[in-house]
Structure 1
Amino acid sequence: MTTTGEDHIGAGGGPWWWPRWRSALLDISLAAASAAECAADGVQFSRDAGLPVPVGTLFGLITGVTLLLRRKWPVAVVLVSIAITPAQMGFLMGVVGLYTLAASELPRRIIGALAGMSFVGMFIVTYVRAHQGLVRGDLSIAGGFIPFLSVTTALGLTAPPVLLGMYVGARRRLMESLRERAHSLERELMLLAERAEERAEWARNEERRRIAREMHDVVAHRVSLMVVHAAALQAVARKDPEKAVKNAALVGDMGRQALTELREMLGVLRSDEAAPVRPARATALPAEPATAAVALVPVVDDSAEGPCLAALEELVGQSAAAGMVVNLSVEGDTRSYTPQVEQTAYRVVQEALTNVHKHAAGAKTHVRLAHRSEEIAMQVENEPPPEPGPAAAVRLPSGGNGLVGMKERVSALGGVFVSGPTDAGGFRVSAVIPAQAA
């Protein structure tokens, strides 16, 4: 930045210290006018001082050309104008120099000191010249009017350029601050847009994982039971037709239940497509400034109708009907919770039972549910599987996402999930979820 507060333009700028060519042309024109004025005044100065006229003219030309430096060294230009004030030349240089000085970024005390020096110099010169003219008879004014004339002349040649320069400098600084602020806001908006895009992508991925968990829980459990019943049906079809008929009916019931749950889920997704978007929750994202934008993405309502703890006995009964030896124990006073808590607790037990069907068919299983004051706990533990039988010989496919999905569900509600083998050779799945009363 130059001393006048103007910005440099790197590519395509003006010559030397000028920011642009039009500024250089303006200063050259002002310097030419100042040189012509000083050269003309130098003729009278050389006569008054008893010097040859060419000397006075050359002196005026040299001092007038210094106005070219007003943008680079405004202090020097003002000092030169003050120095030649007794010679009654350089009035244009003084006015332009004071304006440039006041518009610059120099400290106000320097500007005030130089403006005061210019005022005093102009006042003294005007007073002396007016007194000399009054003595010679060139002026026909009262002697008491000379101080007023001197003050008025000095103020007229110093105050307007200083005030105008201060106004232009303040306006230029204001425009520069507004421009910088606009650039910073533009950069901030770009960052916020990038952040919003990241949050939208995060929300979409979270929604995909949530739907994948729901689809896995709905399909895996029902289909696993259907496969187990189908295997048992194949084994007893000829030996016990009545039991085969019963197993076939169970397979049909479970298939219909699976289809019903799938239709409900797809119905929620389709209805959500036409629903207006709402801000996606971003609790899993790092903290952001208050000015951060919120990504708008479609989110499926977690409170939609789904399984609840009241259907837990039916879930355990279905596994028992498939040949699993399973018992359910409930501790504490039964009460209702928010849909998210009840669905999560149900899905944990459902997936744990599904894993028993897949990996430990025929093993005795214990399901425990505990209602506590501030949390709800569930545990599914199976004993080591028995010798492989007809039902245990069925190999069920596993995607390896069941335990991961259960942990994600429980962690999303602020709970704790633990799973792993037991010392007796079985497997245990435990989860504790903060109790959020309905």
Structure 2
Amino acid sequence: MGSAVDKRAAHADPATNEAMLTYLADRPEPDQSPLRQRAVDVICVVVSAALPVGFWIALATGHTEVEEPLQWVDLIMATLCAPLVWWRRRWPTTISVVVSVLATVATLASIAQGITLLTVAVHRRPRAVFFAAAVFVATGAIYNVVRPSPDVPYWVTFLMVNLLAAGLVAWGSFIKARRALIASLRDRARRAEEEQHRRVEQARQLERTRIAREMHDVLAHRISLLSLHAGALEFRPDAPPDEIARAAGVIRTSAHQALQELRDVIGVLRADGGEAERDRPQPTLGDLPALVTEARRAGATIDLDVRVDDPDTVPDIVGRTAYRVVQEGLTNARKHARGAAVRVTVSGDRGEGLTVEVRNWLPLRSAVVTGSADQIPGTGTGIIGLGERVGLAGGRLEHGPSTAGDFRLTAWLPWD
């Protein structure tokens, strides 16, 4: 039965499965309420005592008489069996066997005997169920010998006892299987809900990590420009007024853009990664000239060579990743090779992939030593984050000194 239900659930509509699991998760477990258990126990005891109590009332009112001593035994045994039903949950097999033995000479105890066997079938394993059913059939056979029916053959009554026992066991097994199925579906619903919560939290964490990486890439570029121009003003306090004004304008513009981009990112973090991040325009390959122009205004010597026929056909994720590679390369060049010429090359075609290369000459050791005091600070994790970004795009990232004496940052990105 469980496999059939699982097959139907597998082919059902996902919304229907979700609604069913939600219903089962909220539905109370069977037999979990003590009040409900006590109510069912009271009903079972009352039903079991209905026949003997009715017989006692008939005797008291004179509507019937006891014709033979065996009827007194029947009445007394049935009266004893009724309260035993109350403890059938605690000792199902024992109570069922005791009631069956007492019912050997008690016709009025048949209801209690059936209830206790049904309880064993619901709550116990097959071995205990088989044992209780065997005692039920054996005591029924003995009863038909002790008190045979004059109108029905023995084999018919024996067959009826077997069919009754089989029906009770089948009914109890059905209830047991149904409860197990509901419990498994309820557990599945709980696990699915927990898994959904984990996926939501993981998605939020990944989104926040991506935004933090975006913040590093953007602000590192802007702040490096600020540091470079501020250092130039500090180094040349006697510069012409127009140069000082131009440098101050670049500092003001870079600071304004950095604050604006920081405000956007913080707004996304406060909104838990909502629509604001997707609505904010992201840089693409077509924005490289503007990036290089901005760096040139800061005094950097940059040679840009874009060998792509139509940059607009480059996928957004590839163009955005290429932009970040160039941005990180220019930022690192300003940090570690100030004043060195930088060459940026972007080439590729559909099917071959996009190659982005940023090269700059390594500074002399003396320049590194003399310039260490005003070195632009950094966390040293920009290349690591860039490698993760390129890896997520399905590409490869290489960096390090080359044999020609320059530093080379190269990324290959798939372009299908």
Alignment TM-score > 0.5, same fold: yes
Aligned partner of residue 126 in structure 1, secondary structure: coil
| Residue matched to 1:335 | 311
Q: Using a 3 Å threshold, how does the CA distance of structure 1 residues 417 and 270 change in structure 2: closer, same or farther?
A: same
| Residue matched to 1:292 | none
Please point out which of 414, 420, 438 is paired with 2:400. 420
Please point out which of 368, 381, 386 is paired with 1:406. 386
The question of 1:266 aligning with 2:230 is answered: no
Q: CA deviation at 1:232?
A: 3.1
Please point out which of 127, 149, 165 is paired with 1:126. 149
Q: CA deviation at 1:210?
A: 2.7
Give CA deviations for 1:20-56 in whole Å, capped at 9, x if unaligned. Answer: 996997799699879999xx9998469xxxxxxxxx9
Tell me how far apart the structure 2 counterparts of residues 80 and 41 of structure 1 sit (CA, whole Å).
22
Q: CA deviation at 1:304?
A: 3.3
Q: CA deviation at 1:354?
A: 0.9
Give CA deviations for 1:165-194 in whole Å, capped at 9, x if unaligned. Answer: 9469727852x5555555445544444444
| Residue matched to 1:221 | 221
Tell me how far apart the structure 1 counterparts of residues 117 and 236 of structure 2 sit (CA, whole Å).
107
Aligned partner of residue 397 in structure 2, secondary structure: strand
Structure 2 counterpart of 1:170, one-letter code: W
Q: Using a 3 Å threshold, how does the CA distance of structure 1 residues 125 and 234 change in structure 2: closer, same or farther?
A: closer
Tell me how far apart the structure 1 counterparts of residues 388 and 102 of structure 2 sit (CA, whole Å).
80
Q: Using a 3 Å threshold, how does the CA distance of structure 1 residues 255 and 403 change in structure 2: closer, same or farther?
A: farther
- Consecutive unaligned residues of structure 1, counting only runs of 5 or more, are 1-6, 15-19, 47-55, 85-89, 128-146, 278-296
Q: Give the number of the structure whose alpha-carbon radius of gyration is greater.
A: 1
Q: CA deviation at 1:361?
A: 1.2
Please point out which of 333, 357, 367 is paired with 1:388. 367
Tell me how far apart the structure 2 counterparts of residues 260 and 63 of structure 1 sit (CA, whole Å).
92
Q: Using a 3 Å threshold, how does the CA distance of structure 1 residues 262 and 178 change in structure 2: closer, same or farther?
A: farther
Tell me how far apart the structure 1 counterparts of residues 245 and 193 of structure 2 sit (CA, whole Å).
57
Q: Using a 3 Å threshold, how does the CA distance of structure 1 residues 399 and 251 change in structure 2: closer, same or farther?
A: farther
Structure 1 counterpart of 2:350, one-letter code: S
| Residue matched to 1:232 | 232
Aligned residues: CA RMSD: 5.2
CA contact (8 A) 2:75 2:108 kept: no
CA contact (8 A) 2:48 2:112 kept: no
Aligned partner of residue 330 in structure 2, secondary structure: helix
Q: CA deviation at 1:395?
A: 1.9
Q: CA deviation at 1:249?
A: 1.2
- The structure carrying a bigger helix percent of its residues is 2
Aligned partner of residue 226 in structure 2, secondary structure: helix
Q: CA deviation at 1:349?
A: 0.8
Give CA deviations for 1:272-317 in whole Å, capped at 9, x if unaligned. Answer: 978xx8xxxxxxxxxxxxxxxxxxx636544731332223234334
| Residue matched to 1:92 | 108
Q: Using a 3 Å threshold, how does the CA distance of structure 1 residues 415 and 251 change in structure 2: closer, same or farther?
A: farther
Tell me how far apart the structure 1 counterparts of residues 283 and 329 of structure 2 sit (CA, whole Å).
15
The question of 1:170 aligning with 2:167 is answered: no
Give CA deviations for 1:320-363 in whole Å, capped at 9, x if unaligned. Answer: 44444432333343432233322221121111111111112122
Q: Using a 3 Å threshold, how does the CA distance of structure 1 residues 370 and 409 change in structure 2: closer, same or farther?
A: same
Structure 1 counterpart of 2:164, one-letter code: V
| Residue matched to 2:356 | 378
Tell me how far apart the structure 1 counterparts of residues 331 and 79 of structure 2 sit (CA, whole Å).
99
Tell me how far apart the structure 1 counterparts of residues 66 and 195 of structure 2 sit (CA, whole Å).
69
Structure 2 counterpart of 1:412, one-letter code: L
CA contact (8 A) 2:77 2:102 kept: no
Aligned partner of residue 249 in structure 2, secondary structure: helix
CA contact (8 A) 1:229 1:247 kept: no
CA contact (8 A) 1:224 1:357 kept: yes
Tell me how far apart the structure 1 counterparts of residues 282 and 82 of structure 2 sit (CA, whole Å).
86
Q: Using a 3 Å threshold, how does the CA distance of structure 1 residues 183 and 247 change in structure 2: closer, same or farther?
A: farther
Q: Using a 3 Å threshold, how does the CA distance of structure 1 residues 324 and 97 change in structure 2: closer, same or farther?
A: closer
Select between 352-361 and 207-216 the one with higher mean Cα deviation: 207-216
Q: Using a 3 Å threshold, how does the CA distance of structure 1 residues 247 and 306 change in structure 2: closer, same or farther?
A: farther
Q: Using a 3 Å threshold, how does the CA distance of structure 1 residues 363 and 26 change in structure 2: closer, same or farther?
A: same
The question of 1:315 aligning with 2:307 is answered: no
CA contact (8 A) 2:341 2:360 kept: yes
- Consecutive unaligned residues of structure 2, counting only runs of 5 or more, are 1-29, 59-63, 89-93, 122-128
Tell me how far apart the structure 2 counterparts of residues 272 and 77 of structure 1 sit (CA, whole Å).
69
Give CA deviations for 1:360-383 in whole Å, capped at 9, x if unaligned. Answer: 212233222122333212121222
Structure 2 counterpart of 1:401, one-letter code: T
Structure 2 counterpart of 1:395, one-letter code: Q
Tell me how far apart the structure 1 counterparts of residues 102 and 367 of structure 2 sit (CA, whole Å).
110
Work out the number of aligned pairs and report it: 355
The question of 1:298 aligning with 2:314 is answered: no
The question of 1:434 aligning with 2:384 is answered: no
Q: CA deviation at 1:388?
A: 2.4
Q: What TM-score do you get using the length of structure 1 for normalisation?
A: 0.60
Q: CA deviation at 1:101?
A: 4.1
Aligned partner of residue 219 in structure 2, secondary structure: helix
CA contact (8 A) 1:416 1:433 kept: yes
Tell me how far apart the structure 1 counterparts of residues 307 and 80 of structure 2 sit (CA, whole Å).
101
CA contact (8 A) 2:229 2:298 kept: yes
Q: Percent identity?
A: 27
Give CA deviations for 1:381-420 in whole Å, capped at 9, x if unaligned. Answer: 2222145299887321212232233123222322222333
